[in-house]
Structure 1
Amino acid sequence: MTTTQTRAIDNGVNVAALLGAREALAAQPPAARFQWRASSEWLHGTHSRATVEGFHGLGAEQKHRRAYRYDTDHPEVFAAADNGATPVEMVLVGLAGCLTAGVAAVAQNRQIALHSVKATLEGDMDLRGILGIGDQTRNGFEAIRVHYEIDADATQAEIEALVAQSQKRSAVFDIVTNPTDVAVTARKRV
């Protein structure tokens, strides 16, 4: 008689809680409406500091365990002080974080043990757009490439399926690949 031992897979994602949230929010659509927030304060030159702390979700105001702060700036090649990543690099960071979290969650749900996951992102941009050199050049990324190196107890096809499902459900992937209405207002501070 042969006995098979099943090993519990733990990639650090509480899939039961995620599936429970999915079920609860399907039954209560208004609770699924979230509002994420960030504030930014100019410090000097092209250096700003953004803060993320509170958000609205599950029908009430929520807070992170602590405030998170992110400095953005431009590199010295732009005659700046290089006090932080550029804002466009932060977009790549957000995309990497969202897709990688998805890979971990999908792997956990499919009982695939991850040993390492590394994403490398590249975004191509022609700076003539933001510098106002010609109206035909886009200000933002022309292309973004995401490459994963994943060590997991899985076949190549299963790894590709993990990444595809993560991409399908990624909020940041959706944000950078689809138009989003953005309203900008300004008023003099008194």
Structure 2
Amino acid sequence: MTITTTPVDNGINLQALLDAREALSADPTAAEFEWRASCTWVSGTHSHSTVEGFRGLGAEQSHKAVFHYDLDHPECFASEDHGPTPTELVLVGLAGCLTAGVAAVAQMRSIQLRAVTATVRGELNLLGVLGADPDVRNGFQTIKVHFAVEADASPADVEALVAQSQKRSAVYDLVVNPTDVTVTVN
């Protein structure tokens, strides 16, 4: 019997990730990153945000392109619905970070992925945001993430991929742990 092995390819440059981990461990100051976004009010609840540069690896960096995002609220809030709400963008960030982590961990563990879909639902009571009930939190009361993963792996191995992704996700950490946020005005 002949056994052939097909290399796992989830689109992750595993060697680059391992090299980066080693290099950043040797020079921890290069691992300090500052991510930035700017937002300009357009009208009503509509705003336009851009993401271009960031600081990391000891120097200023930039994306290949400037990314643009229009944010707004839906018409049922007496708004124009020019884009997703800011809270929806948080859910997008969480889903994207966890999904990227699943792909990277799968590559590291030699698991071929066929399909990965993350569905994120956040429950938020507007009475808090509107100031109508001081006992209702302004933010999400709960966030639920569900993964549908098709992979050449057992269900237990897939659950382990998702668990490791949670453990290493910057956005998951941001959502579940307090972060010191400072707001200033000129």
Q: Give the TM-score category using the shorter length.
A: over 0.9
- When the two structures are superposed, what TM-score results if normalisation uses the length of structure 1? 0.97
What's the CA shift for 1:57?
Answer: 0.1
Distance in 2 separating the partners of 1:15 and 1:140: 36
The C-alpha deviation readout for 1:126-179, integer Å capped at 9, x for no partner, is 100000012111000000000000011010000000000000000000000000
Moved over 6 A (4+): none
Distance in 1 separating the partners of 2:133 and 2:78: 22
Distance in 2 separating the partners of 1:119 and 1:62: 29
The within-5 A match list for 1:1-190 is 2-187=1-186
Distance in 1 separating the partners of 2:177 and 2:104: 23
Segments of structure 1 that go 5 or more residues without pairing to the other structure are none
What's the CA shift for 1:3?
Answer: 2.9
Distance in 2 separating the partners of 1:117 and 1:3: 31
Tell me the SS of whatever aligns to 1:129: helix
Name the Cα RMSD after superposition.
Answer: 0.6
What's the CA shift for 1:6?
Answer: 1.2
Distance in 2 separating the partners of 1:142 and 1:71: 25
Aligned pairs, number:
186
What's the CA shift for 1:61?
Answer: 0.2
Distance in 1 separating the partners of 2:9 and 2:151: 12
Distance in 1 separating the partners of 2:3 and 2:27: 41
Between the two proteins, what is the percent identity of the paired residues?
62
- When the two structures are superposed, what TM-score results if normalisation uses the length of structure 2? 0.99
The C-alpha deviation readout for 1:96-152, integer Å capped at 9, x for no partner, is 000000000001111111110011110001100000012111000000000000011
Distance in 1 separating the partners of 2:59 and 2:170: 21
Tell me the SS of whatever aligns to 1:121: strand
Segments of structure 2 that go 5 or more residues without pairing to the other structure are none
